[in-house]
Amino acid sequence: MSANGGNGVPAHARFVSLEGGEGAGKTTVLRALRAALGAGGDEVMCTREPGGTPLAERIRELLLDPGQAPTAPQAELLLVFAARAQHVREVIAPALARGAWVLCDRFTDSSYAYQGAGRGLDPALIAGLERDFVGLRPGLTLLLDVDVARGRARASGRDGAPDRIERERDEFFERVRAAYLARARAEPARVRVIDAAPAAEVVAAAAVAALEDWRRGR
């Protein structure tokens, strides 16, 4: 592990996360990244947040249940970090310790974007939770960036009713997007921005190219 920028939390060189707003298209990209990482025969452990363990998946259900009454932002923040603390200890850290790649659909950057910028919570509070309860960050984060209207149109085209967070207003998602892009500007070596507006295969190819560049140290 190496100290790598923001907040002094160590980054792990085999830990890759994928981030983006609603409907950015993470599913196709995850499949392509998994294939690229596993091409040399390495183990690739794919997981997601909130979730990835039985306890964390139950927290996810609570967080996304549209039937829940409006949740205090502080409660939402603590729930995502409770899920993450369990996920890191039960799944992510053991996988990294045995030498696997860990590919995670969302990680702590989502909390800075959604609970920080979206809900208006103090990023210093999130940084404290990251340092004390998580203690680990990805070596590479690929940020799928797409304008809010396009992302929301894609997400609404899927089957099923929108979840609790998907029901937020456009302004919320504009703040989320701006926060992600600000994080990419602040940590350009870790966070690489992928234009997620083109067709899914084009976006996946760009993400794989960014992964290969990072692995070659470029």
8-state DSSP, 183: H
Instruction: Kindly determine how many residues on this chain lie close enough to bind ligand T5A according to the rule CB under 6 A.
Output: 26
Select 1 or 64, whichever has its Cβ closest to ligand T5A.
64
Question: Using CB under 6 A, which of 14, 26, 177, 190 touches ligand T5A?
Answer: 26
Q: Is 20 in the site for ligand T5A (CB under 6 A)?
A: yes
Helices (H) and strands (E) in the chain, counts: 9, 6
Closest CA to 105 of 205, 195, 17, 12: 17
* 175 in Cβ contact with 117 (< 8 Å): yes
> How far apart are the C-alpha atoms of 190 and 133, rounded to whole Å?
21
Site string for ligand T5A, 110-149 (x = CB under 6 A): xx--xx----------------------------------
* Parallel, antiparallel or unpaired: strands 101-105 and 137-145: unpaired
> How far apart are the C-alpha atoms of 50 and 58, rounded to whole Å?
9
The token pair that represents 104 in the structure block: 């995670």
Question: Using CB under 6 A, which of 79, 88, 105, 172 touches ligand T5A?
Answer: 105
Q: Is 80 in the site for ligand T5A (CB under 6 A)?
A: yes
Residue range at the interface with ligand T5A (CB under 6 A); choices 86-94, 131-139, 157-165, 187-195: 157-165
Select 40 or 157, whichever has its Cβ closest to ligand T5A.
157
As measured in angstroms, the least distance from the Cβ of 162 to ligand T5A is 9
* 6 in Cβ contact with 126 (< 8 Å): no
Q: Please give the residue ranges that form the binding site for ligand T5A (CB under 6 A).
A: 20, 22-28, 49-50, 80, 105-106, 110-111, 114-115, 154-155, 157-158, 165-166, 199-200, 203
